[in-house]
């Protein structure tokens, strides 16, 4: 049986909705035991979020099922003596404590870093918040939409006519969760050498700015103010979304050889000799004219036909798919990205499909080991009366 990297490690998870639960989900996939500590009778807000009102009423909303498979659930009131006693026992035996309250909330409950370190000197404590635990905005409320706007992300999403636009999924929550999982893993590796835990203070705003990469560095290094460019790639041309006989096609001919190959394959070998398109910077300057020439040629075949033709010759190209089409790709299915799990409420044989994270260890995909828990499903295991 495969031994996962985080097997045997225990995570006490106080998080809600997405950034923290997504982090906990990654740790679970890598083998950790993740125990959600939830408010009695209510639980994670995500239990009531999703497109199916019936699931929301049953506290197994689609948003909750997506990020909490393979975890355990315990109901605790951290303001009650009995709840605090169980919580302190859990922390004393844990490797990781994860929370995404507003900055200072856990400390006001009596569990600041000094107290947590007294309970467990080897604890890795990760606090995810919108802006971090310090600074003038530290106690301001923050959701993904707020961070998308403050980070500048929305200002570069869309076209000059439509920006600012929200990215189509909660990307800042996701980035925050991924960064937290990486930080926790690094801290656990460091603990192997020192034996000491640490306090990880993660700002979703800063994590999002970091993830914006070239958009930020172009401004910091070169003083170039980023602008929205819709479906076009600012770093090269032709690189963006193009028109075919039946739908959009992404092409990223970022290198000179790729551009020349593209032109030959679409029946326009004359384009590289045109002074407007001969060099990289010239192509960026005359992007619109180049795109018009290529679109006219690409309309001769379907997107799938061009995907096969161009990819075979080393020109990166692929259709623009819906989410449903992407999940149905043979590539995704063959690598075991999706896992069918029993429906938490049981009964009629319904199944729930959970996503992995794209990592294979020795050829084996990481999968959740069970469905998302019902609220308080594991109370008895931790000595909590239901």
Residues designated as active site: 173
Cβ-contact 263, 238 below 8 angstroms: no
- Greatest distance between any 2 Cα atoms in the chain: 79
Quick one: tokens of 337? Answer: 């990205």
Listed residue (162, 182, 185, 186) closest to 174, CA to CA: 182
Cβ-contact 75, 43 below 8 angstroms: yes
Question: Exposed, middle or buried, 346 (CB in 10 Å: 0-12/13-18/19+)?
Answer: exposed
Angle of helix 19-29 relative to helix 171-194, nearest 10 degrees, comes to: 50
Cα end-to-end distance, the chain, whole Å = 34
355 bridge partner residues:
338
Listed residue (172, 62, 164) closest to 128, CA to CA: 172
């Amino acid at each position: 049986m495969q031994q996962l990297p985080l097997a045997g490690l225990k995570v006490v998870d106080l998080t809600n909705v997405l950034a923290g639960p997504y982090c906990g989900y990654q740790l679970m996939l890598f083998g950790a035991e993740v125990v959600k500590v939830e408010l009695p009778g209510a639980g994670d807000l995500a239990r009531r979020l999703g497109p199916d009102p019936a699931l929301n009423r049953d506290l197994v909303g689609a948003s909750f099922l997506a990020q909490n498979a393979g975890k355990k659930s315990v109901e605790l009131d951290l303001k009650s003596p009995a709840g605090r006693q169980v919580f302190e026992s859990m922390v004393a035996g844990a490797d990781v404590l994860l929370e995404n309250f507003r900055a200072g909330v856990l400390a006001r409950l009596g569990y600041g870093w000094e107290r947590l370190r007294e309970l467990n000197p080897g604890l890795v404590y990760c606090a995810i918040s919108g802006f971090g635990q310090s600074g003038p905005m530290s106690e301001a409320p923050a959701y993904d939409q707020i961070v998308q706007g403050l980070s500048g992300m929305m200002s570069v999403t869309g076209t000059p006519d439509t920006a600012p636009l929200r990215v189509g999924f909660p990307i800042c929550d996701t980035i925050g969760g991924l960064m937290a999982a990486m930080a926790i893993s690094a801290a656990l590796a460091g603990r192997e050498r020192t034996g000491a835990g640490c306090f990880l203070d993660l700002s979703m705003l800063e994590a999002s700015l970091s993830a914006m990469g070239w958009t930020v560095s172009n401004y910091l290094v070169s003083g170039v103010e980023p602008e929205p460019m819709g479906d076009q790639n600012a770093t090269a041309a032709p690189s963006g979304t193009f028109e075919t006989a039946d739908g959009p096609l992404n092409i990223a001919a970022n290198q000179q050889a790729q551009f020349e190959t593209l032109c030959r394959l679409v029946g326009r070998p004359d384009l590289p000799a045109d002074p407007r398109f001969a060099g990289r910077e010239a192509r960026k300057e005359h992007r619109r004219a180049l795109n018009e020439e290529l679109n006219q040629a690409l309309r001769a075949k379907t997107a799938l036909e061009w995907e096969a033709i161009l990819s075979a010759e080393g020109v990166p190209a692929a259709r623009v798919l819906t989410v449903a089409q992407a999940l149905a790709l043979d590539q995704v299915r063959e690598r075991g990205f999706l896992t069918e799990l029993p429906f938490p409420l049981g009964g009629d044989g319904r199944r729930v499909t959970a996503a992995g994270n794209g990592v294979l260890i020795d050829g084996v995909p990481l999968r959740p080991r069970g469905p998302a828990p019902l609220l308080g499903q594991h109370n008895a295991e931790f000595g909590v009366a239901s």
